[in-house]
Chain A
Amino acid sequence: MREVPEGQPIPPAGPAPAPPAVPFSASRTPLVQWLLSPIALIPLLLVAFVAIFLLWKSQLVWFGPSFFGINYFFDPTGLQPNQFGVTLFVVDSLIVALPALAIAAGLSLAMAVSIVVYLPPMPGRVLTILTNLLAGIPSVVYGIWGYVVLAPYFGSTVQPAIFGFLGWIPGLGGPLSPGGVGSLLAIFILIFMIVPITTAVMRESLRSVPHDLVEAGLALGATQWEVMRRIRLRVARRGLWGAAFLGLGRAIGESVAVAMVIGASVWIPPNVYAPSTTLASFIFYQLDSSFYYPVLLQALIEFSLVLLGLAVLLNLIGQRASGLGTTVVVTGGNGP
């Protein structure tokens, strides 16, 4: 603050200082700021760099003859023609990711509703922190837990139980996979990895429903549940779908944990118990051998591009719908 001597008029302002308008770059943007703007675009440049580099590397085979087919045939000796149909892997990925997402989304919606609508602030906050803790557990730890503890249990108890009760549903019929590894176990493991992000985004979406609407509903004598179903869900619909897409992107992209429990059979499995594979897990455990077989390597590069494209697409849809980014997981636990 400038000292103004007592009794003297405040000196007339000199050349007007830059207006302390809130965003500095409100009206005119200096050239320098445009030139420096790549700093803000580092993430974009990184994504583009990864994509372009993979594209460049993939030029040799470039979506070979049956790339979009459902065939997978690989002959390490190279005597027979190799075929890598990406469709097979995308289908396998969806067989694992969609059920995992459906269950995780259901659980998340229930938890989000509980935290936003029913629970008092303090337990709500504790449960939020605990949900975030799920996100902090390394995926490979889920993997080892699934492989060592859950797999035998799934083989001996869970699979027969599900088969017994729901075996008439297509996809849940036999034969069972005695060791327990397979799509079902991968689905189970994935649920824990999806739940933190879908819960966080759903929680914030439900929270962003204007309080006015909720009050007006309650003032009409509706119960919290009725307001939830008829108003909150309707208003937050886009955000909830967005959460689902973000979760699906997460499920499709997970490689290590899935690779540990899915059993790595390259085929379209006859049911959810059977060993299977996913795009991401296939890339992960085939990288090793691909170093010796250039054709396989090229196929994997192309698979990576497809995986990248899928993940980016699902993420963009999810963000556009929810208006929230992945970072909501970060801020969710500490918000008011």
Chain B
Amino acid sequence: MNGSPIASGAPASPPSPEPPVVATEHLVVRSRERVILNDVSLAFPDRDVTAIIGPSGCGKTTFIRTLNRMTEIGSGLMVRGRVLYRGQDIYARGVNPVIVRQRIGMVFQRPVVFPMSIFENVAFGLRINRVDEATVERTVESCLRRAGLWTEIGDDLDRSGLTLSGGQQQRLCIARALAVEPRVLLMDEPTASLDPVAAQKVESLLFELRQNYAVIIVTHNLQQAARVATRTAFLYEGRMIEFDETKRLFESPREKLTENYVTGRFG
């Protein structure tokens, strides 16, 4: 237990070449009935993929949603502690969640495609920002390319987005999130509702995205975490148990709980 990151005040982070772009400090999230997250301090480096793992109900989805203030929407959750984006507390007075969410994008577990054409789906975030038409077209194309969709559907952008397959829909959602030019991309189990082939495509996309974005991915799939993430955090019952480089966390965890979890004894 010695040197457990829970005990230390500073946000825990394994050595990283880049300064953290998002960090939490003593984050406590509670509903009216119970504490969902208890004193979680984590720091996420820029241009890299970080995974958050843990058994169902450990609070990982709530955690990732607090990172761009999605918890505020009709959930009645109370957030204490600080969430820092480049050092600025996003829950501070005067910070508007709308701006936070433009910098910190999110992709959900089930693909949520708007009932519009593929083009308009990707252009959504641009339209609300009154971007001129030429830029919209250019950005839609580049985002679809980055999401690996351009070669598949680039010639048929007026189709309803709802006609795409599940995997394509999820990549469309990623393209749509990229179009707003976020620094950080939060992904809440992005492959959980996809078939293995589609999931594989999304995963390989993550390797591309890490060049330019800080990606934080919540997953219950340990192999996925091992494949895509440079660092992994293990959450259990609302507490951050261990945060380390993925390889070390899986191969020589410091905590007994982590070991039990990654070796499949529970969860």
Contacts and interface: CB of A to CB of B under 8 A. Distances in A.
Interface of A: 211-223, 226, 230-231, 234-235
A15 B95 CA distance: 69
Contacts of A214: 73
Nearest to B103: A221
Contacts of B105: 219-221
Contact of A223 (B73, B98, B114, B177): B98
Nearest to B125: A220
B112 interface: yes
Contacts of B173: 216
B125 A222 contact: yes
B180 interface: yes
Interface of B: 68, 70, 73-74, 97-103, 105-106, 108, 110, 112, 114-116, 124-125, 127-128, 173, 176-177, 180
Contacts of B68: 219
Main secondary structure, interface of A, reads: helix
A250 B105 CA distance: 46
Given A213-B114, A221-B99, A221-B105, 12 more contacts: A212-B108, A215-B108, A215-B112, A217-B114, A218-B97, A218-B101, A220-B101, A220-B128, A220-B180, A221-B102, A221-B125, A222-B124
A214 B108 CA distance: 12
Nearest to B96: A223
Which 10 A-B residue pairings sit nearest by Cβ, starting from the closest?
A: A221-B102, A216-B112, A219-B106, A221-B101, A220-B125, A212-B112, A226-B128, A222-B128, A223-B98, A221-B98
Contacts of B114: 213, 216-217, 231
22 contacts: A211-B74, A213-B112, A214-B73, A216-B114, A216-B173, A218-B70, A219-B68, A219-B70, A219-B105, A219-B106, A219-B108, A219-B177, A220-B101, A220-B102, A220-B124, A221-B100, A221-B101, A221-B103, A222-B128, A226-B128, A230-B127, A235-B115
A222 B116 CA distance: 16
Given A220-B176, A221-B102, A221-B180, A230 B124 contact: yes
B128 A230 contact: yes
A211 B108 CA distance: 12
A226 B129 CA distance: 10
A215 B71 CA distance: 10
Nearest to A231: B114
A231 B108 CA distance: 17
A213 B108 CA distance: 11
B127 A219 contact: no
A221 B101 CA distance: 5
User: Quick one: which of B125, B127, B176 has the most chain A CB within 10 A?
Assistant: B125
Nearest to B99: A221
A216 B172 CA distance: 12
A70 to B, nearest CB: 44
User: Quick one: which of A214, A218, A221, A230 has the most chain B CB within 10 A?
Assistant: A221
A30 to B, nearest CB: 42
Contacts of A220: 101-102, 105, 124-125, 128, 176-177, 180
Nearest to B72: A218
A226 B97 CA distance: 14
A125 to B, nearest CB: 15
B191 to A, nearest CB: 17
A55 to B, nearest CB: 44
A261 to B, nearest CB: 43
Contacts of B73: 214-215, 218
Contacts of A219: 68, 70, 101, 105-106, 108, 177
Nearest to B120: A230
B214 to A, nearest CB: 16
User: Quick one: which of A211, A215, A234 has the most chain B CB within 10 A?
Assistant: A215
A223 B98 CA distance: 6
Nearest to B176: A220
Contact of A217 (B97, B102, B110, B124): B124
A281 B242 CA distance: 77
Nearest to B126: A220
User: Quick one: which of A217, A218, A231 has the most chain B CB within 10 A?
Assistant: A218
B42 to A, nearest CB: 20
Contacts of A221: 98-103, 105, 125, 128, 180
